[in-house]
Each structure stands twice: as structure tokens, then as C-alpha cells.
Chain A
Amino acid sequence: MTALILLALVVLLLVLRQNIYVILAVAVAWLYTTVGRGRVEDMFQDMFFSVDQEVLLSVPLFILAGNIMSHGSIARRLIRVAMAVTAPIPGGLAVATVLSCAVFAAVSGSSTVTLLAIGPITYPALLKNGYDKRFALGTLCAAGTLGIIVPPSIPLILFGVATQTSITDLFVAGLGPALMLTTLMAGYAFWRNRHMPRGNWDRREIAIALKQGGLALFMPVLILGGIYSGHFTATESAAIAVVYAIGVEMVVHRDMNLADLRGAFVQTLLLAGALLPVLALAMSLNIFMTLERVPQDIVAWVSGMIDSKYTFILFVSLLMLAVGTVMEITPAVLIMGPLLVPLARTYGIDPVHFGIMMIVNLELGYLTPPMGLNLFVAMTAFREPFGTVFRSVLPMLALMLVGLAIVSLVPQLSLFLVR
């Protein structure tokens, strides 16, 4: 009965257009006071306990680094390098678009930031050079989603915090699938445009592009190298990324002024303000469920029905694909992660591999209506109708499903550097 009342309450609040933090607060307070027989103050205690962690600093810091770079010229410089290097390949510009998204994702950690930083430069260039409009839109929307799987990824950090999984291990594990997805997308871009005229291998242009974009290219090396070598924690690496980005954009490139920097800070605060209450409430919900032994009950219930690891993977994939269509990735990771990880363990799935699987699954949610964030961002940024944008991503969506199957069924792809 309690569950039914709770469900009805959540549905009612959803229908009445409430923000996720409001819905979560009501649901969690309800659980604390009815099922848990506690007080709402206990929920606040757990909320504060949840956010009182050093590792969480990396989230706003990576968001800030991404915002600084999208306000400056790092994206433009990365694109110039990618275009110069891929010029002799048929469909080189399309391949350059995918590569630019992947590299920019490696410094921003966000899908929409990646799409908004790369898209406005490469989309007009693709159209001007005779690439099909649908292909251009689909490629940008899909390659933009690489932002949440290419380390450092904010959803991976949140998964690590929520499930007590090593964030460094998750970052290392994300490399293989990120490379595989990037290769799939770049390969498709090449194959689809194989009849396009190729450019020349211009050594001078490559040298100039590398000279102008060298500091931008060094950034992922600095961030990921520091983490992977064990020299810095994810949080320290994020702080270094912020200072490096400010230094490069304001002092070296001089493409950013104080007003731009303030804009990047405000944008970060808005994102942090939207994320932090959701994070705190979702984590307090997790604490509550752990105390009430909910994950153990789910494990017993599901394992009674599903006896095969592969059926479980299929079940989780379908569940995550469905969740991704209606829920933002942050609450999806924070709520579903701690519930599903104990289950995954019982089927012998490594939590690090499971985290990667879950994020790749939810990555598809960026391209599927009604929530598909990248579809809406592309619709606004490129002034195209929703139907056109959605149809444009279908081939890439099919490609990403293939990628998801590979990530799910080949754990070594994620774990070869971890275990």
C-alpha cells in the first residue's frame, strides 16, 4: 500500500511539472517518515553526509573546466588539428568531426558541452563542403554523446560515488569502449562518405594547426595522464584542468576575458545547483534503501527469476534503455546504480564493467525521445525541426547499439587495463 501511495505521489508530481529535486525530496521524506519511522531531519543528515566528500569536488571542477573551454577557443583549435590530419581521407571532415568530439569530450566530461562547442563550427563546414544534412546532424548528435563515456566523465564520477566504485578504475575502463565507439562512428563517417573528394596532405597546415592547438591537445594528456599514472586524484586533476584552461585561454591564447570567465563560473553554478540537491537526495535514498536491505531483497527477487548472466545483461540493457528515454542521466545513475550493482555482482559482473555498461546504455538516452537531450540541443543550436534531427540520428543509434552489445558482452574491452 505504501509503495502504491508513493508511486501515485510521484506520478502526480511528475504530471504537475515538478523538478526532480522536489519529487525526490517528497519521495525520500515520505520513505524516511513512514517506512523508516524516522524524521525528515534524518534525511537532511544523510544528505549532508553524502555531499561531504572530497571526491565530489571533481564534478563542479570538470564542469567548470569544460565551460571555460567552450567559452574560449580550445574547441576551434582542436577541430583545426583534426581537419588538417584527416584531410587526405575521403569524408575527412566527417571523421574530423567525430575525432574533435572525442578529444573535446576528454577535457569537458559533458555531452551537451561537447555538442555545443564542436557543432557550431563543424556543422556549417560540413554543409558547405557538400555533406548530407541528415548525416551531419546525426554525426554531431551521436559524437556529442561521447562526452559521457570518454574519461573524465561526470556520470562515471557519479556512478563511482554512488556505488563506492573506484573512479580511477572507471576512468581507465572507459578508455577501451570510448575508443571503440569513436572508431565505429569515425569508420561509419568514412564509409558513408567514401566517394567524397579528398583533400591534400598539407604538412604546413598540419604544422600550423599543431602549433596553435598544441596546448589544447596537451590538456587531455595532462588530465588523464595525471590520473592514470596515480600522480593526481580525479579531484586534483580537475582543479589542474581548470587552472590550465584559464591559463591557456586567458594568458596564452588571449581568447577569453574576465566577463567570459565569470560567464563560465555562473554556468557552472547553475549546473551544480541543479545537480547537487538531486545528488544529495538520491544518495540519502540509497542510504535509506541500504539500511532497509532493499538491494538484498531485489537481488533475491530477480535472481529467483533470471538465472543466466546474459539474460540479466539483456534485462538491464532494456531497463536502462527505457529509463534513458524518460529520465536524465544524473538521477538514473544515482538511483539505479546502487540498486543494480549488487545484482550484477551476483551474476559475476565486475562493478567497474557494469558501470561502463550502464553509462553506455544511458548514453543512448541522449538520442531517444522524449528526453533525448542532444536532440533538443541540436534542434535549437542548428535550427532544424525535431523530426529531421531524430531521423538523422537513427543510423548512429543502430551503430551505438552494436557498440553497446560489444561493451556488454566483452568485459575485457573495459577491464583489460584495470584487472
Chain B
Amino acid sequence: MTKGGPNNQGFPSLARVLRTATAVETAVAIVALTVMTSVVFLDVLGRELIGQGIAGAQRIGVFAFVLAGFLGLPLATARGGHLRPKFADGLFPPRARSTVLVIQHGIAAVISLGLAWFGLSFARQTLTLQEVSPVLEIPIGLVQLVLPYAFLSSGLRHAVYTLYPDLAPDETGDIS
């Protein structure tokens, strides 16, 4: 999964933190994906069998999707699974590769952390306005908090990869 990987001997504690964060995010995202699938399926089943679906099923499904999808962002960062145009990769000579990778992760860290800041500001505004989902009656701002979290987690990972390039993942490139 990584060159040095989370098992890298040089940075065991940092690698452990990343691994734990990935495990927790994966677990929560899998639960969200399961809820999303189940709620849509049971809604159809209820509608077809007893003529009544689940109240608010679509809202639950959408919120679970937002949660799972945005938690997938730092997971894709951890696996090097993001979409990236590679046609300009040949511009730098191979000997400059390690420097370029540090710059690459440094820029991604700054931008992702900036996005986390503005995302948090956006979610706080919604929470202040006390906007509530009409069907589920839960504050929408709470759901929106996953956006800044996703960028924060991704940005912190890029920051770690900038400082400790050996922990950075290889790009999987298998995204279709």
C-alpha cells in the first residue's frame, strides 16, 4: 500500500496514528454505506410488500451517502486513490521526483486545510441559523460538518506526507 507504509520503522507512532485514523474512518464509512443501502432497499421492500415505505428513507440515505462519500476522501488520500491528471508527470527529471513529491503534498496540505477552515465556517453558519432537515428533524449543520472533517483529515495526511515522504502512499491509479 505504501512505499514505507504505515508499518515504516522510522515513524512508528505516526504510522500508528494514521493507521488508527484510517481504521476508524473506514468503520464509520462502512456503517454509513450499509445504512444507505439498507434504508433504500427496505423502503422498496416495504412499498412493494405492505404498500408503505420507510418514512424519511431518502433523507437518511442521502445523509448516509454524504457521510460515507466524504469520509472516503481521506481514505482515498491514504491509499493514493484520487483522480489525478498525469500527462505532465514527465516534465520533471527522475532525480527531482522526491522533491516534487514533497512540494505536491505540501501544496495539497495547505489547500485541503484551507478548505477545511472554510467548510467549518459554512457548517457553523448553518448551525447558527438552526436549519433542520424537514423530515428527520436533525440539524443539517451536523451533517455538513463531515465536509470540513474530510478536508481536515486529508490535509493532515498530506502534511504528514510532506514531512515524512516515506509514509506517503503510492498512487493506485485504479479509479474508474
Contact = CB atoms under 8 A, between A and B. Distances in A.
Contacts of B40: 57, 61, 235-236, 238-239
The 9 closest A-B pairs by CB, nearest first: A273-B72, A276-B69, A112-B176, A44-B122, A239-B40, A273-B76, A19-B82, A40-B118, A269-B72
A138 B62 CA distance: 40
B37 A41 contact: no
A265 to B, nearest CB: 5
Nearest to B29: A269
Interface in B124-170: 125, 144, 147, 150
Interface string B25-42: 010011001101100110
Contact of B108 (A18, A265, A274): A18
Interface in A167-223: none
Contact of A13 (B107, B121, B122): B107
A270 interface: yes
Nearest to B33: A265
A388 B43 CA distance: 50
Contact of B111 (A25, A240, A326): A25
Contacts of B36: 57, 60-61
Interface string B88-110: 11010000000011011001100
A273 B84 contact: no
A26 interface: yes
Given A16-B103, A53-B62, A60-B36, A270 B81 contact: yes
- Prevailing SS type, chain A contact patch: helix
A269 B41 CA distance: 19
A40 B119 CA distance: 8
Interface stretch (A290-298, A302-310, A368-376): A368-376
B13 interface: no
Given A60-B69, A112-B174, A270 B86 contact: no
Contacts of B66: 48, 51-52
**Interface hub of A13, A52, A270 (most chain B Cβ within 10 A):** A270
Interface in B3-26: 26
A391 interface: no
A330 B115 contact: no
Interface residues of B, number: 60
B44 A17 contact: no
Given A16-B103, A239-B41, A278-B83, 4 more contacts: A18-B108, A51-B65, A61-B40, A270-B175
Interface in A250-271: 262, 265-266, 268-271
A266 B26 contact: yes
Given A15-B91, A22-B108, A51 B69 contact: yes
A330 B147 CA distance: 20
**Interface hub of A14, A16, A44, A373 (most chain B Cβ within 10 A):** A44
B73 A60 contact: no
A397 B61 CA distance: 40
B44 A240 contact: yes
A193 B58 CA distance: 51
Contacts of A54: 58, 61-62
A239 B44 contact: yes
B86 A370 contact: yes
B85 interface: yes
A249 to B, nearest CB: 15
Contacts of A110: 176
Contacts of A52: 62, 66
A64 interface: yes
A147 B107 CA distance: 35
Contacts of B68: 60, 269, 272
**Interface hub of A19, A113, A266 (most chain B Cβ within 10 A):** A19
A371 B30 CA distance: 30
Interface string A361-392: 00000000011010011000000000000000
A47 B147 contact: yes
B167 to A, nearest CB: 17
B112 A326 contact: no
A277 B62 CA distance: 15
Given A270-B75, A328-B83, A376-B173, A57 B144 contact: no
Contact of B30 (A25, A51, A262, A331): A262
Interface in B35-82: 36-37, 40-41, 43-44, 58, 61-62, 65-66, 68-77, 79, 81-82
